[in-house]
Amino acid sequence: MKLIILDRDGVINEDSDNYIRSPEEFIPLPGSLEAIARLHRAGYTIAVATNQSGIGRGYFDIDTLNRMHEKLAQQLAVHGGRIDGIFYCPHVNADQCECRKPKPGLLLDIKARFNTVMQDVPAVGDSLRDLQAARSVGARPILVRTGKGERTLAKGEGLDGVPVYDNLAAFVNVLLKQEQ
């Protein structure tokens, strides 16, 4: 199985320091839907691992989150793409859960759900916690400049050996070209 793990906010869709709180605020980044569709057509199993502490903070509920993901699925279908699983953490830091990145819980759930190994699985994110979660399970961390990516680069922490791409589409172009 060819598996890829994507963070959501800042990788697939626009991010906000005030949280994405509604389907109306869920706006795909340019080229991200087409990139996911290309991955799907290339035979990838596509999983999303996303911290959604806005639920724990009371900014939106699970029904609203599901509507955001339904919007994503509908928009992907137009491009011939799909996501095979969305894994989210609804908790805040104070909850001390195991699923909130940088802890590995979401990625371990993905591993179990798809009955696969995580060694060298690309895990695309825009923050240090995405990279740390990927490393903790043996996945291959990839940083994009979109979302909080530029801030992550500016801090310069934990980036040793991490390739950096302008956006998800740029990474997918390189990944699929390497497979040819």
10-residue averages of pLDDT along the chain (180 residues):
97 96 98 98 98 97 98 98 98 95 98 97 98 98 98 96 98 94
What is the Cα–Cα distance from 140 to 29, expressed in whole angstroms? 22
Among all chains, which residue has been given the structure tokens 């949280």? 19
Residues designated as active site: 7, 9
C-alpha closest to that of 75 among 41, 4, 27: 27
Q: What global pTM score does this model have?
A: 0.97
Q: What share of the chain is helix, strand, coil (3-state, %, to 5)?
A: 40, 20, 40
What is the Cα–Cα distance from 11 to 153, expressed in whole angstroms? 15
Q: For position 160, what pLDDT does the model report?
A: 94
Residue ranges of domains in the chain, CATH in brackets: 2-144 (3.40.50.1000)
- CA distances, 91 to each of 4, 135, 137 (Å): 24, 21, 21
Q: For position 31, what pLDDT does the model report?
A: 98
Residues 6 or more apart from 30 whose CB is under 8 A from it? 167, 169
What is the Cα–Cα distance from 175 to 171, expressed in whole angstroms? 6
Q: For position 180, what pLDDT does the model report?
A: 82
